[in-house]
Amino acid sequence: MIRSFKSFHFFSSSTEFLLPIFSFSGSISVRYEMASHVVGYPRMGPKRELKFALESFWDKKSSAEDLQKVAADLRSAIWKQMAAAGIKYIPSNTFSYYDQVLDATSMLGAVPPRYSWNGGEIGFDTYFSMARGNASVPAMEMTKWFDTNYHFIVPELGPDVNFSYASHKAVDEYKEAKALGVDTVPVLVGPVSYLLLSKPAKGVEKSFSLLSLLPKILPIYKEVISELKAAGASWIQFDEPTLILDLDSHQLQAFTAAYADLESTLSGLNVLIETYFADLTAEAYKTLVGLKGVTAYGLDLVRGTQTIDLVKSNFPKGKYLFAGVVDGRNIWANDLASSLSTLQQLEAVVGKDKLVVSTSCSLLHTAVDLVNETKLDDEIKSWLAFAAQKVIEVNALAKASAGQKDEAFFVANAAAQASRKSSPRVTNEAVQKAAAALKGSDHRRVTNVSARLDAQQKKLNLPVLPTTTIGSFPQTLELRRVRREFKANKISEDEYVKAIKEEIKKVVDLQEELDIDVLVHGEPERNDMVEYFGEQLSGFAFTVNGWVQSYGSRCVKPPIIYGDVSRPKPMTVFWSSTAQSMTQRPMKGMLTGPVTILNWSFVRNDQPRFETCYQIALAIKDEVEDLEKAGINVIQIDEAALREGLPLRKSEHAFYLKWAVHSFRITNCGVQDTTQIHTHMCYSNFNDIIHSIIDMDADVITIENSRSDEKLLSVFREGVKYGAGIGPGVYDIHSPRIPSTEEIADRINKMLAVLETNILWVNPDCGLKTRKYAEVKPALNNMVAAAKLLRTQLASAK
């Protein structure tokens, strides 16, 4: 039984970590016998210690040893935290300096030739060049991890890759934990999922079967497994999340073949195959439970509610079920009574000694620790559980299912669940009625896009191949200091406004100097493209340290949508109007769209997501119309995360896309034809939803293109007709590399081969917030120069 809750200070020469530790009655041996498991844990640290260590290393302000020390301290603190909380199956090798899929690429020695790796153990230089690019070569492609806001580095594979065991990280971290007295379950990205998440390298036929490489990578896996066995590992976890996708029989057969091949090497080990994020199909479930040499199956029972029926109908005798009943994707406290009921049902099928309580997926996707939150009020705080609290929930459920229920803990949990259901701050009847009334219309603009573009061109008078940027400009340390001091009441509102206006003027002047056609104000007043809006909308709550990793060192702090959403007052009109007053050129009003606000928030789970999205759409609609009244003629409504929310099952796509696209149209259905509506999308695979993108009916869409090897253009080569304005990104902003004028001109020419000249825009892939001015100025200068070069060539060709 949990008796007390206190803090555990972990000190090192370079960092101090504050992680929770829990005191329990009973002996240590009892604690370690609890049947509980955590799929994975956040790696950034409770105060983003890894982020700051990484960025210091990249900026050459600290050494590799300094970075490694911070990482080792974080790993140690996390393992000790889980051991102290009573978790029996503690994962290792879920820590990463950048991304777990990139770690697997390193383990397999699958380094693309452009990084000039000469073999041996892969070091930071090669590893971070693959992740971020360097002065001479671009980074590998980055895309969304299933339907989350986490990004992974996409492996580039072909028939000529010489795989070799080139990173011993998994074994090293297992030994590291063992030396601390913590026996862990090493976690590897499973071989089949690794291949299914890869792409053919440049120059390799698209028809190349990535699964044909299975015989080449399995020997490396065998080496790793053998080393783990020799080091004393008794369990090993293979993450095979692609099992929840719509797979054909050939793909499912690859799982059967892979684990049959590994069976003899795995002999003597307990083997857990972990799946997450959705239900398994009946065929996938049959494949999973039929795998040779496998001891246990990890299933997401939060998002995979129908999987329980498969377990009840057919679960192999003598096998373990790692039941993912604690949500790893959201921050709401578990309904312990409901989860315990589910576990009791499963006990009857699996057997008490074979049932392990687990998280639905890695806790990487949730915030680290609620204890670090000082600004959330007690009522809302009682409704929540971050990663550290979810570890407690897992163990509490394991103890309860073993007959050691902590009655006080369960009573407090039930009271919090009841409080959330009955709280008056959750429901706004006016908002609910307005959202319900939306269902009778599709909210399309009356005039078609071609006629609107003509009307807009008469008003805006833009050149061929107009240039623009996506929204944000670099956020300097000084700018962050100003925002921080204003939030802490250390400077007055007048001082804050003056400082932000000066920053906007600097950004406007720079764009005019560079001769960019449609300007942005640079968003100096914004901390984050979702949080900024959520702070001004009702129904949202905010954390101080609720950071979640998005990619690499980039973390986001998702708002918490706990109630009905509305807009009390204008949010951006003052700053956009101020910026427009500084220039004669068009100034874009910059908004985040409803689907992206939804998908990048922790969303209430007590009503359908689409209902919350419609509420947000109405709030953004009010803002769009106020911007138009204020004289802003170009308004960008970013839907960076629209593709990300696409369900993992194709059968569910149509319903999601219908309400998501509808939500976007609601925001701008009331504006005049002369008001140009832009949207922006980034870092996802868009080709399969191109018709829904067209159905959004935006006047102009800017979209990531360069980092993904211009695969967006392939959809237009295949005959899709796009009549609105479109700006496929001409350079990757997530790399410090500065592209040349010639390189950008070459990209534009590739676009002109498949898109009409009069609809093409020239812009970077994404916002410039994370870059430095020393990178941004020359890159934008080269971008504008490339556009002007192409204009001259087009004019002379007439």
Catalytic residue positions? 734
**Contact in structure between 768 and 760 (CB atoms under 8 Å):** no
Residue among 226, 106, 215 nearest 167 (CA): 106
Give the pair of three-digit tokens for residue 747.
């990209």
Query: What is the Cα 481 distance to its own chain's centre?
Result: 27
Helix, strand or coil, per DSSP, at residue 152 = strand
What is the rounded CA–CA span in Å between residue 578 and residue 404? Answer: 63
**Contact criterion met (CB below 8 Å) for 602 and 559:** yes
Q: What are 365's two structure tokens?
A: 């996707």
Q: State the Cα–Cα distance between residues 307 and 300, nearest whole angstrom.
A: 8
Cα 187-193-195 angle, rounded to 5 deg:
120
Q: Which two tokens stand for residue 63?
A: 């050494």
b/e sequence 10-24, b meaning 16+ C-beta within 10 Å: beeeebebebbbbeb
At 151 the three-state DSSP class reads strand
Rounded to 10 degrees, what is the CA torsion of 251, 252, 254, 259? Answer: 160
CA distance 637 to 470: 11
Q: DSSP states of 46-59 as a string? A: TT-HHHHHHHHHHT
Nearest residue to 515 (alpha-carbon basis) of 793, 781, 766:
781
Question: Which two structure tokens, joined as six digits, stand for 191?
Answer: 């071989």
CB 591 within 8 A of CB 576: no
For 607, phi and psi rounded to 5 degrees?
-150, 160
Structure tokens at 321: 């079920």
With left for phi above 0 and alpha for psi between -120 and 50, is residue 133 left, alpha or beta? left
Q: CA-CA distance, 376 to 132, in Å (whole number)?
A: 36
Task: Return d(Cα 689, Cα 701) in angstroms, integer.
Answer: 14
Rounded Cα gap, residues 77 and 473, in angstroms: 36
The angle that helices 336-350 and 387-401 make with each other, rounded to 10 degrees, is 50
Question: What is the rounded CA–CA span in Å between residue 52 and residue 650?
Answer: 39
Cα–Cα dist 545/79, whole Å: 21
**Paired sense of beta strands 676-681 and 700-703, if any:** parallel
The Cα–Cα gap between 246 and 712 comes to: 22
Residue 708: other Cβ atoms inside 10 A: 25
